[in-house]
Each structure stands twice: as C-alpha cells, then as structure tokens.
Structure 1
Amino acid sequence: MSSAPTPTLGSLLSGLRARNGWTLKQMSDQCGIPVSTLSKVEHDRLTLTYDKLQQLSRRLGMRMSELFAEEEDEGPQPVTARRSIGDHAHAVRVQTPNYDYYYLHTELRRKRMIPVSAVVSAKSVAEFGPLVRHAGEEFFYVVRGRIAVHTDFYDPVVLDVGQSMYIDSTMGHAYLVADGCDEAEVIGVMSSGDDELMQSLLDLHEEQRGRSAATTPKAVRDRAPR
C-alpha cells in the first residue's frame, strides 16, 4: 500500500491552480511570475526567492506562511519516508539588518521544525535594536566566527565555533557578532506547537526591514538600486 504524496510547494501551487481552473499562463498573469518558473516550481525542480513568495502571496491573496507550511489535517499523519537535501542555492533567502537568513527545505510542507542557516552581522545591542521574541524554542550552533548571545534573563554569553545554545524563544534574545570578529555564521532549528510560528518569523523580518528603511537617510535611499 503506497503512502500519501508528500505535500510540497509545487503541489500546493498545482492544487491552487487546479481549484481556480487556471492554466499555467493564467496563473502567471495573476501572480506576475513567468510560466517557465511556475512549471519548474510545480515539478519541484525550483523554489522561489523570498521576494517572489511575497509577490505570489500578495497577488493571490494568501498569507506568506501558507507558502512555507500547511495546517495539520485532523488525525495522525502517515509515515511518508520523505527526505530533502538542502543547500543555500535552493534555500529561501531573507536579508534583514541583523541577519542574512537561508530558510532550508522550504519545498516540504507540514514541517515540525524550521531549519535555517544565518549569517550574523550586528555588532552591538544598539545596532540590533529591540530583542526579538516569538513562539517556541530554538537551537543554534556556531559554524564560523564567534557570537555573543544576549537574552532577557541572563548575562551575555560568547559562543565559539562548535558551541551551541538551546533557548526558550519567547524570551527576548539577540545574536551578535562577538568582539574581534567581522562576521559569524550559525545553523539552527526553530520549533513550536504554534501553527503561526512561520508567520511570526516573517512578521519579525518585515519589522526589522521596516526599521532599517525608516532609519536609512533619504539620500542613501535615493541612490539605492530599484
């Protein structure tokens, strides 16, 4: 007896197109993404960038989080023996003033954890801004450089390559580049019983990008590429 098909971003878009009775060309006209790109996504040969996912969700009237994960169906999920091999080339990249995120394995739906690779760039709490908080727990492991972890209830801790930390994500936290380093890189996993975890993370990214845009001098914004 075969198991149920594993939900992917491609199957989500294919199902959405079928429910609306659209051809690939009609869906392309609706969302502004080329037919060839949509075809590759539907066949799970390509993922979409963060900006393209934003464009898709906005034009099709969907929430961004729906493109990263689906709500669980009632009842236990069947064993699918699924697997996914990831790298930065196939990740969804999200750049904020404090981190350069690569969300991995975004083609898989209904994940119980959110794997991410991130380059840390902020060097002080003043540069970072307010500590971030979101549902769930998270684990991060340093793969390059050194980071200083600031939290609500503990003194700052410096982690070197090979060291890691597991924290309650509802506690305010910030990962900074430690003194003596120009940049650092971590890999991590975030998990929560809250179905809205991905949406919470996306909202945080937009807040950080919005704060950055608001504090960028007008002359610099005018010179920025369009």
Structure 2
Amino acid sequence: MDSTTKHPALASVMRRIRTRNQWTLKQMSEKCGIPVSTLSKVEHDRLTLSYDKLQQVSERLNIRMSDLFVESENREVPQVTGRRSIGKVEDAVQVTTDNYDYHYLCTDLRHKRMIPIVTRIRARSAAEFGELVKHHGEEFIYVIEGAIEVHTEFYDPVVLEEGQSIYLDSAMGHAYVAAKNCDEAVVLGVCSSADEGLLDSLMSLRGASM
C-alpha cells in the first residue's frame, strides 16, 4: 500500500463517463467540480481521488459511488456459479478518510455479498476517531500488521495483536483504532450483508468502519 498503488478502474470509468456524454475535460470539470488538471491525471491513472472528491463526483453526476470502481457497463447479473476475482493490493481501489486508508479488493465483481478490504488504520484513540459507526451485516477483522483497539457499543475495548481477529455484528456501534504504542496498523476486513447496497453503505460512512 504505497505510492505505486494503481487504480485502473477509476481511471477508465471517469474517462468512459466523459466520452459517453461527449464532454471535453473542461465540460467534465464544470459538471463535477474537479479541476481539469486533476481530471486529466485521474484519467491517465496518475492520481486517485479522496473520499470527499469521490462523493462530490457521485452527487454532481448523479451516480452511485460504487459505480466509479466498476469498469463494465453491463449491469446484468451473470447467471453462473463459477465467478471469481483475483484480488491484488496494487490493483485495489483506494479511498482515504480521516481515520483510514481503505483498499477495496475484487471491485470487478458486482453484487457481491462480501466486501474484502485491506485497511491502514491511522486513528490513535476513540476520541480522535469520533462517533462509533454502524451499518447492516456482519464483519470479520484480521490484524496483519501492528495492533488495534476495538471499541464497540456493548463491550469494553479489546486489543488485538498481529494474527488475532474479531467477528462482530456491524449493526452494533464500533470503531477500530491503532493500539497504544502503535502508530498505524493494517487489517484485512471482510464485510457481509444480504443488502446489495453494502458497498455504497460502507463508502457513505466518513472515516468509518470496515
């Protein structure tokens, strides 16, 4: 999860939106409020957009934020039983918030019941994190690097070290922060829900949960 991270889906989707509407970069800039120079860098895969900018593009162009990460325009759900997707961190879609750096994996698959995310946790305390978050479904968190402190609505905080994990009900208020004496931590999170809008729900939580 370094500066070489690539975001091919966002670059091609932004370019497709512009060409489909026959907009110039300047017209696209006026529509979504993103500077021309920034749009050009995004389309050429030299820059990604922060959470705030992704939300701005979504709202101004009246499209779902999750659709910015899907290259295919085909919205039909394939009636097959052998779907698969290879998830690579260098190809993940990155979204940066106040508390976390999210890396969404396997974004080429639509209508997933599970959302896999590698997350770098930067918040250092519950006070810094802010209000606990909650959303539909359940989630599993596995600590890859460092240590985290898990705050939940109904339980005392618990510290998880590398190799440890937690499974919880996402409707319960929760927050993950770097544990004491740990500047940052990296975790793998898998969120699951029968709600097909789970990805959009997760992205709508500013700085929040898995």
TM-score, normalised to structure 2, is: 0.71
2:88 maps to: 86
Distance 2:157 2:208 in 1: 24
Q: Is 1:31 aligned with 2:31?
A: no
Q: Is 1:190 aligned with 2:191?
A: yes
Distance 1:63 1:98 in 2: 23
Q: Deviations over 1:91-134 (max 9, x none)?
A: 22222222121112223322221111111122221111111101
Distance of aligned partners of 1:170 and 1:112 in 2 relative to their CA distance in 1, 3 Å threshold: same
Bigger shift: residues 148-157 or 98-107? 98-107
Q: Is 1:66 aligned with 2:63?
A: no
1:157 maps to: 158
2:4 maps to: none
2:132 maps to: 131
1:114–1:189 CA contact under 8 A, matched in 2? yes
SS in 2 for 1:205: coil
> Per-residue deviation at 1:90?
2.0
Distance 1:50 1:184 in 2: 20
Distance 2:177 2:12 in 1: 38
Distance 1:139 1:184 in 2: 16
Q: Deviations over 1:127-183 (max 9, x none)?
A: 111111011111110011111111111111111100011111000001111122222
2:116–2:191 CA contact under 8 A, matched in 1? yes
Distance 1:153 1:192 in 2: 21
Distance 2:61 2:181 in 1: 46
SS in 2 for 1:195: coil
Which letter maps to 1:202? Answer: M
Identity of counterpart residues, as a percentage?
Answer: 48
Which letter maps to 2:183? Answer: D
Distance 1:104 1:27 in 2: 31
Distance 1:175 1:193 in 2: 23
CA-based RMSD: 3.5
Give structure 2 stretches of 5+ with no counterpart. 1-8, 30-38
Q: Deviations over 1:46-70 (max 9, x none)?
A: 9964567446534532121333579
1:106 maps to: 107
Which segments of structure 1 move beyond 6 Å, counting only runs of 4 or more?
Answer: 8-18
Distance of aligned partners of 1:53 and 1:108 in 2 relative to their CA distance in 1, 3 Å threshold: farther
1:30–1:60 CA contact under 8 A, matched in 2? no
Distance 2:129 2:138 in 1: 21
Distance 1:159 1:108 in 2: 31
Distance of aligned partners of 1:193 and 1:11 in 2 relative to their CA distance in 1, 3 Å threshold: farther
1:50–1:92 CA contact under 8 A, matched in 2? no
**Aligned residue-pair number:** 189
1:219 maps to: none
SS in 2 for 1:115: strand
Is the helix fraction higher in 1 or 2?
A: 1
1:147 maps to: 148
Trace 1:13-52 onto structure 2 (pairs within 5 A). 22=21, 26=23, 31-32=28-29, 33-34=39-40, 49-50=49-50
Distance of aligned partners of 1:170 and 1:144 in 2 relative to their CA distance in 1, 3 Å threshold: same
TM-score, normalised to structure 1, is: 0.66
